[in-house]
Structures are given as C-alpha cells and as structure tokens.
Amino acid sequence: MDKNTLIGLGLIGVILAVFTYINQPDPEEIRKQQELAQQELEQRQAQAAETKAEEVTESDEIQFELPEGFVEKVGEEGEVVVDSLGRIVYVDTVRNVDTVLAVTPKVVEEKVTKTVATADFSGDVISIFNDKLFIEINTKGGVVSSVFLKEHQTYENFMKNEGTDKITPLQLFDSLSNQQLVFPKGDQIIQTGNKPFEIVQQANDYLELRHVLEDGKFITYKYSLTPGNYHMNYEIQLQGLQGEVLPENVQLDWQSKMLQTERLLSEQRRTSTVFFKGVGESYDYLSEFSDDDYSPKTDIEWVAFKQSYFSSILKPENKFKKEGAQFSIRNIEEGSEFDEGYIKDYSAKINLNFDNTANGSVKMNWFFGPNDYYLLKGYGNNSEDIINLGWGLFRWVNVYAIQPIFTWLSSTGMNIGLAIFLLTLIVKFALTPIQWKMYSSSAKMRILKPEIDEINNKFPNKEDGMKKQMEMMTLYRESGASPLAGCVPMLIQMPILFAVFRFFPSTFELRQKGFLWAEDLSSFDSVLDLSFNIPFYGDHVSLFTLLMAGTTLFYTMLNSSNMQQPQQPGMPNMKVIMYIFPFMMIFFFNNFASGLSYYYFLSTLISILTMVLIKEVFVDEEKLKAKMATRKAENQAKGGGKGKKSKFQERLEQMQKMQQEKMKNKK
C-alpha cells in the first residue's frame, strides 16, 4: 500500500468520525426512545398472555365453581401464591391443607417438576374433579387422601342446610386413608407411601404422577375421571424393574378409616365391613360386629370397603391374585382419638397380578359412591351384592318384588312416604286371599273350641295322649277344619315380613327423604329428645315405633280368642308371649330406620282393617258353623265316623298300637 492510499484512508476516517460526532442524538431523546420501546414490549407480553388465557378457557370449556371453604392462599406480602407451574394455590379451610385446582387444557406439555424429599416433607395436595366427585391426591406417596361426593352430604350438613338448595359435599374419607405399593427389592422392602412423586401431566380430570428410583427406573400413577361417573380410572405402571422385582411380589396396601356420614354412628358401624368376590364364587364379607381377618382361597374380582350407604370399591381390569392377599376389619377402640367421627379400620393387602416389571401396568376401576342397587348393578360385576337385602329366599323377594315395585313408585317423583304407603297397599292386596284363608281357619277353630275342650276333659291323663290326638284328628277331618290351615298362610307371609326388615334400612332411596315429622326416613324419627339415656332404648322417643307397637298390640287383642292355651305341662303360654311382643318392639325398633317402622305400622293397620272387613262382609260365622255341622253329620252317616283316614291319622293309630303293646309288655 503506497503513501497516497494511506493518506486517503486516513482522511475518510477523520470525515466519518467528525460526521458521527456532529449527528449523535441528544441523551434526553435516547431516554424517551428506550421508554417507548419498553412500553411496546410490555403491551405485546400482555396481549400474548391474554390470548393464551382465552385459548385455555376455550379449550377447557369448564365452568367450575370454587368449592365451599376454599380460598386463595396469600403470601407474607399480600400476593397470591402460585405453584411451580404458575397455578393458584388454594387453602382448604375445613382441613387446613393447601391444594391446587387445575384449570388447564386437557393435554399439557409434558413437564416433570422435581420434588425433594426432606425430613418434614408433607407433599402437595392436587385436586381432580368431575360433576360427581372431587378427589384430593397427595404427591407424598401419590395417594388418594380425600374423596368428596358433590351431590350428597352428611346427616349433620343435611340438617344445617335444611330448607335451602345448598349441598355441602360429603367427605367419604380423609388423609388417614391411603394406598401404597409394597415389594421387596434386593435386601430392602420398598414402600411408596412416604416417597415423593413428581407431577408429569395434570388437568381438571386427569393427574399423572411419577416416583423416580434410579437409572431410568420409575413408578407411575395415572388417575382420570369421566363425566357423570362415580368411579375413577386408576393405573399403576412399573418401568425398568426387571431382574430386581418379581411381578408376583408387588402388592397394594390399601388402608382406610371411613368417616361418619349418618345420624347414628353405632348403626353405621353395625353394617360396615370389607366385602370381596372370588373368581367363580359369590360375594363374601368379614364380620360386621367383631375384628376379623381373611386370606382368600381364590383370585379376587373386586374388593369393597363398605359402610351403610356409601362404599369404596376397587376392581381390576383382570383380577387380583390370591397369593399374599389379606383382608381385615378392626373396630375403633372405645375412647380412642378416632372413636368420634370414624366408623372402622379397613385394610386390604392385594396382589396386583403384574405380568412383568420391565414395563408392566395394572388398570383398575375405583368406585366412590352410594350403595344404590341399580347404580352398582350397572357395572356388571355383582358389586350390588354388598347391599344387605337378606339372604336366600328373603333376598329374592327383595330383588324381584319389593325393590322393582318401590323403585318404580319412587321414580314417579312422589314423596317417598307416599311410595311406601302404596307399596304396602300392593303387598297387602296380593296377600288378601291368604289373610282370608287364615281368618276362615281361625273361625272354624273357634266354632270347634267347645268340642275340643270336651275332648281335653275326656282324656286328662298324659298316657291317653294318643287317644286324645286320634279324637282330635277325627273331629278335624269330619268338620273340615285344620289347626295347620292358619299356620301355612302365615309361613307364606313370613318371607315378605323378613325381606322388608332388610330392605328399608338398606335402600338408598330413603336416605335424607322426609315424611310428616320424620326428617330422614333412613334414620329414627324423634318426637322427643331425652336428656338421659335409657338402657336398650336410647335417648329419644320414636313416634313411628310407638304407632307400630300400638297397632301390633291391638291386632293381638283382636286375635287373642284364636290363641289356644298349652295342653302340655311346661309349654309356654303363647297368649302371654304375644302380648309381651309389642312392648319388646318399642325397645328393638327405637333406633331403626323410621321407614321400616312406618311400613310395619301401615302393614298391621291394613291387616286390622282387612280382618274386620272379612269378618263383617265375607265370612258369616253362623253360616260357617251350620256348614261344618252338616259336613260332620254327612261324614258320620257315611261311616259312623270311620270314613277314609288320612295317612297322618293312620300313622297315629300305628303309634298308638305300638305304645299299647309296649305298655302291655312292660306289665
């Protein structure tokens, strides 16, 4: 490069420097331009955030009302607290725990938030919900910590909200309940109940959690809800545990303390236990009264933690293996911290039946809902058998007669009390021919009573018992009467009598339905609360029970003439027993469902009216007496009282001859 070129380049540089210095902007103008640029940036960010929020709302299409008792959590400086994903954290003021109500798109970009386990690690409570259920899940252990039923409420809240449309969701169980995986791995036993789980995906009705072990090995829980259902889909996945964990050793340890939901805790405890169904078998259950344990002998189709009107039922897609399975029920110890408000301790150790631990999964259906017969029957797994409708013949009467009629009546929208009244009328109308037969038989026995007394006086000695029986049988045969004719119709009615004894305390349709002075037909009706407790009676007076006992006593008085005095020494006096029975009912039924007492009251009242109607209109005792006398005379004229004998009478004669021969040989 020559001298002239260097001089030229130097001059150009000087000119550019002078031009730049002369044309540089004023500092104040620079500051204004920076402020404008910052304002434009903030506006663009706000517009982007608003657009994203609109997209989330449109994609979700969910209108969710904040549950009662939930408020936004506020920090020390008054700011609203959010979690690591930017969601608002709410405080459940009822249980004093934090939770997140996710209002996010159904599909969320996969993102794992690391949770570090510390000594005081308590986990985060995450909530999923649909129109039936509100479920809280804790990231500590990934357990279902609480379940709320939106359309139902406890008896206490039912009375508080009486006269309003407000419903305080019923809590089925709280954080004392949990489920965890238990399996041996190497020289240690892994229990996931205290392990930290990470959020993988989350939406209003979906939650996926993961516990990372090491080297790409992990355990995944998937929870999902579908609209209009009381069940939650529950899936457990194992990844990378082949060679270290045997599939047959993976168990689910399910523990629960169900909460009181009804008026009388003692009655809930009386009907609560663990139910289960073995493959190819009918349902079975543990003791409802005492502590009990059971190891199943066959594989299991489902396991249910059942209380009086609600249950938690776990059903696998395939089946649970019997190996290592164990079910138990424990009564709450009197005076313990759980004696008030908790029903029982439920426990089930379940072999999940994994096919492998490399990438195996088990899918289950977890039901949280009412013991409604047709709701459970709709699942097609016989879980409706947990409803105590009696056994054998009594259950058949309820399932095929009482339940369909009552469900049809209540489905019309009429008051449940009126439905019970119509059900009683239908049942009593169907049994009218039987009651007519009973009354006709009792009328014949009243007509024969003088002749029966004459025979008893004729054979006062015990050794003449056979002769007396022979005379009695001849009298009955000739007159067309039978002492058993009144017993057979009574036996026909007994299945219905015992069936309704199981039906009304178990049917969900009665729960929190009022009639007259009874605010809840599934519980006792109290017209007077006592300030003290009467042993075997209670601390209240049930009016339906008193009415039932009163009508039973009156019915007993009307039939007292039909009751025969015992002829053999040492035999109980049935007349005395029948008069004592109505008073015993007062003590026995005082704490029972008022719907049951109401039914028995109506049934006995209708029986009284029917009996009076039959007596006054259909059965003329004078005509019946003349007819019996004519028949007796005709039989005697035909054979002198020695007409064709029944097989029973022939056997009596043979027994009499044998007895006479025996006495003769003894002499």
Mean pLDDT (whole number) for 510-525: 89
Does 159 map to a domain? yes
Does 363 map to a domain? yes
In a shared domain, residues 419 and 329: no
What CATH number does the domain containing 333 carry? 2.70.98.90
- Which residues of 501-652 form beta strands (DSSP E)? 526-534, 538-542
Q: Which of 365, 387, 409 represents a domain boundary (last residue)?
A: 387
Contact 143, 179 (CB under 8 A): yes
Instruction: Give residue 406's identity as a one-letter amino acid code.
Output: F
Contact 303, 323 (CB under 8 A): no
Residue, of 73 and 332, whose pLDDT is higher: 332
Q: What pLDDT is recorded for position 637?
A: 62
Residue, of 518 and 644, whose pLDDT is higher: 518
- Helices and strands of the chain, counted as H and E runs: 16, 24
In a shared domain, residues 378 and 416: no
Give 70-112 pLDDT, tens digit per residue.
677 777 666 677 655 455 777 766 555 566 554 433 333 333 3
Give 22-69 pLDDT, tens digit per residue.
545 455 554 555 565 456 545 544 554 454 344 434 434 334 456 556
- On the question of pLDDT at 253 being above 50, the answer is yes
Does 662 map to a domain? no
In a shared domain, residues 314 and 419: no
In a shared domain, residues 286 and 367: yes
Residue 60 burial (CB < 10 Å; 0-12/13-18/19+)? middle
In a shared domain, residues 347 and 420: no
β partners of residue 540: 529
Residue 335 DSSP label: T
Q: What pLDDT is recorded for position 20?
A: 47
Give 479-488 pLDDT, tens digit per residue.
556 665 556 5
Q: Which of 361, 387, 413 represents a domain boundary (last residue)?
A: 387
Instruction: Give residue 407's identity as a one-letter amino acid code.
Output: T
Does 91 map to a domain? no
Give 288-316 pLDDT, tens digit per residue.
989 999 999 999 999 999 999 999 999 99
- Give residue 281's pLDDT band: very low, low, confident or very high (50, 70, 90): confident
Chain centre to alpha carbon of residue 579: 37
Q: What pLDDT is recorded for position 27?
A: 53
Number of domains within the chain = 2
Q: Which of the listed ranges 82-86, 377-381, 434-438, 533-537 does the model predict with the highest average pLDDT?
A: 377-381
Give 457-479 pLDDT, tens digit per residue.
766 666 666 666 676 676 666 55
Does 64 map to a domain? no
In a shared domain, residues 447 and 371: no
Identify the residue whose tokens are 């386990």. 117
Give 139-171 pLDDT, tens digit per residue.
999 999 999 999 999 999 998 888 888 888 999
Q: Which of 387, 415, 450 represents a domain boundary (last residue)?
A: 387
Does 658 map to a domain? no
Structural domain boundaries enclosing 234: 102-387
CA 537 → CA 155, 175, 185, 542, 598, distances in Å? 22, 36, 56, 10, 18
Which pTM value belongs to this model? 0.72
In a shared domain, residues 274 and 376: yes
Does 580 map to a domain? yes
β partners of residue 125: 99, 138
Which has the closest alpha carbon to 441: 559, 553, 556, 566?
Answer: 559
Residue ranges of alpha helices (H) inside 328-410 are 373-377, 392-397, 403-410
Give 550-570 pLDDT, tens digit per residue.
998 888 887 765 555 544 554
In a shared domain, residues 177 and 204: yes
CA distance 448 to 325: 65
Percent of the chain with pLDDT over 90: 29
Residue, of 8 and 282, whose pLDDT is higher: 282
Does 41 map to a domain? no
Contact 551, 606 (CB under 8 A): no
Q: What pLDDT is recorded for position 335?
A: 85
Which has the closest alpha carbon to 202: 135, 290, 118?
Answer: 135
CA 463 → CA 471, 567, 568, 570, distances in Å? 14, 13, 12, 16
- DSSP helix/strand/coil, 559: coil
In a shared domain, residues 123 and 270: yes
In a shared domain, residues 456 and 486: yes
In a shared domain, residues 415 and 332: no
Q: What pLDDT is recorded for position 209?
A: 93
Q: What is the mean pLDDT of the chain?
A: 77
Q: What pLDDT is recorded for position 534?
A: 86
In a shared domain, residues 307 and 354: yes
**How many CB atoms within 10 Å of residue 1?**
6
**How many CB atoms within 10 Å of residue 280?**
8
